[in-house]
Structure 1
Amino acid sequence: MPYEDREDPAVRFERVTKRYGDRTVLDGLDLEVGRGERVTLIGPSGSGKTTILRLLMTLERVTDGVIHVDGRPFSHMPGGPGGKLVPASERHLATHRRRIGMVFQQFNLFPHMSVLENVVEAPVHVLGESREDAGRRARDLLDLVGLGDRADARPTRLSGGQQQRVAIARALAMRPEILLLDEVTSALDPELVAEVLDVLRDIARSTDITLLCVTHEMGFARDVSDRILMFDRGRIVESGPADELLESPTHERTRAFLGSVR
């Protein structure tokens, strides 16, 4: 039986601050994302949105505060006097970040491997799956993203939209409970954006995966989100159901931002 209390949120930020020198990117952030909830983060560049994803992927370390995943400390672990939390070891982070997958702005596919091999590699080497089992699941995932017929192709033979769909399949192959999406269409030509967003909409509809997304695509945010959070200067300035926040924002900063991206 899993160790966590199933009533706990999938992700909880507890007074999390992130600084780079004198610059504060996240300022005492309190944030909860429920299991199976789809939350989109919007706001101007530099407002802290992507930093949240990078902290969850352990690409950055918190300055202050604690991140919890599935009811257990993630950024920290017991180890101090009386069980006091201390910064997590690399081993602790490696163990627990397996629950989390991320699709980046850039595709980062291995050019010398086929599409199928790109999807199979991590489940075999990280999860310890047999190559046969990982291959079967990879083919199912490539079918899911509409690329079952390109399994043997090299990434360089694919369009940008197709490469991003392979990256989505690769992330799902790790069986994440939480999927992070960081501006996944920003590197694509406009005519390729729709095909990637359609795949993500299908995933949101057909799975119970927890989704945390950073995007400037407001139509996509409306379609997939249970809740949208507006960030500015490292803080949440407004939060609400997708339709409500996009149609009737109450904060002047939210209204100004939405006016700039529509």
Structure 2
Amino acid sequence: MAPAATADPVAPAAPAVRFDRVTKRYGDRTVLDGLDLEVGRGERVTLIGPSGSGKTTILRLLMTLERVTDGVIHLDGEPFSHMPGGSRGKLVPANERHLAVRRRRIGMVFQQFNLFPHMSVLENIVEAPVHVLGESREDAGRRARDLLELVGLGDRADARPTRLSGGQQQRVAIARALAMRPGILLLDEVTSALDPELVAEVLDVLRDVARSTDITLLCVTHEMGFARDVSDRILMFDRGRIVESGPADELLESPAHERTRAFLGSVR
């Protein structure tokens, strides 16, 4: 009797983001030092650490606002910072066309809102999906209204950004990033430009996004309560390297490294 057939093993999905020995230098200053980092699909990872430790540089490399000095960044198992070229498929630095296609998977919410003041809230959200993704204005408008409901601004679609509070403007910026249907969302100290009383409303919206979507989240923040609520994993950075990594509750409650303990003591 022939043996029963067995199913082929399913290969694990490639991580959403992988940094392979990535170094970033500015002249003689090394900001990232041979960084190895993987972020799984749908994983929520928060980067913490003192100013200048390399956290924001990671986001800027993913947004192609900076180029790596050494190493390779991969998205979904494919080279992102580099592309095949030369003999035998050797990787070479990516050209702008390669980057432009692949960075559509990435959305970013910055510290500053960067909304167009001459456009309505709705128009601010609709423009990029129409001109970059090729969506019809009608479809983009419907999705924009849904996203405004998600961020609690369904009644402000026709308002100008200058008529909104800072917290409301940042919520519009979140909706604008989500309108591009990113698989990966980067958050760079998104509450640092807000008055203290407006911080909670923005963090509440981001908690809702984390709970209601399967988006991969990579976040830089000094808001430890927010980091605990949304993160699967927290990474502590210092001098361009990962000092410590672990589940959010574990790292925040019982950090193993003295540098982590000192940093957490300074921000609580």
Give the shorter-chain TM-score range. over 0.9
In structure 1, the residue matched to 2:161 is 155
Alignment of 1:53-68 (within 5 A): 53-68=59-74
Separation in 1 of the partners of 2:86 and 2:210?
40
Q: Deviations over 1:101-152 (max 9, x none)?
A: 0000000000000000000000000000000000000000000000010000
How far the C-alpha of 1:80 sits from its partner, in A, is 1.8
**3-state SS of 1:151 partner:** coil
How far the C-alpha of 1:176 sits from its partner, in A, is 0.1
Runs of 4+ in 1 over 3 A off after TM superposition: none
How far the C-alpha of 1:177 sits from its partner, in A, is 0.1
How far the C-alpha of 1:157 sits from its partner, in A, is 0.2
Separation in 2 of the partners of 1:70 and 1:56?
13
Q: Deviations over 1:1-26 (max 9, x none)?
A: xxxxxxxx000000000000000000
**3-state SS of 2:263 partner:** helix
Separation in 1 of the partners of 2:108 and 2:85?
29
How far the C-alpha of 1:66 sits from its partner, in A, is 0.0
Q: Deviations over 1:185-215 (max 9, x none)?
A: 0000000000000000000001000000000
Separation in 1 of the partners of 2:195 and 2:65?
27
In structure 2, the residue matched to 1:46 is 52
Q: Deviations over 1:57-107 (max 9, x none)?
A: 000000000000011000000012100000000000000000000000000
1:229 paired with 2:235, answer yes
Among 260, 264, 267, which residue is 1:261 paired with? 267
Separation in 2 of the partners of 1:174 and 1:58?
17
In structure 1, the residue matched to 2:112 is 106
Separation in 2 of the partners of 1:45 and 1:121?
34
For the aligned residue pairs, the C-alpha RMSD in angstroms reads 0.2
Separation in 2 of the partners of 1:97 and 1:213?
17
Separation in 2 of the partners of 1:261 and 1:43?
10
1:84 paired with 2:90, answer yes
Separation in 1 of the partners of 2:117 and 2:58?
29
**3-state SS of 1:237 partner:** strand
Q: Deviations over 1:20-40 (max 9, x none)?
A: 000000000000000000000
How far the C-alpha of 1:156 sits from its partner, in A, is 0.2
Identity %: 95
**3-state SS of 1:98 partner:** helix
**Greater Rg by CA:** 2
Separation in 1 of the partners of 2:226 and 2:87?
47
TM-score between both structures, scaled by the size of structure 1: 0.97
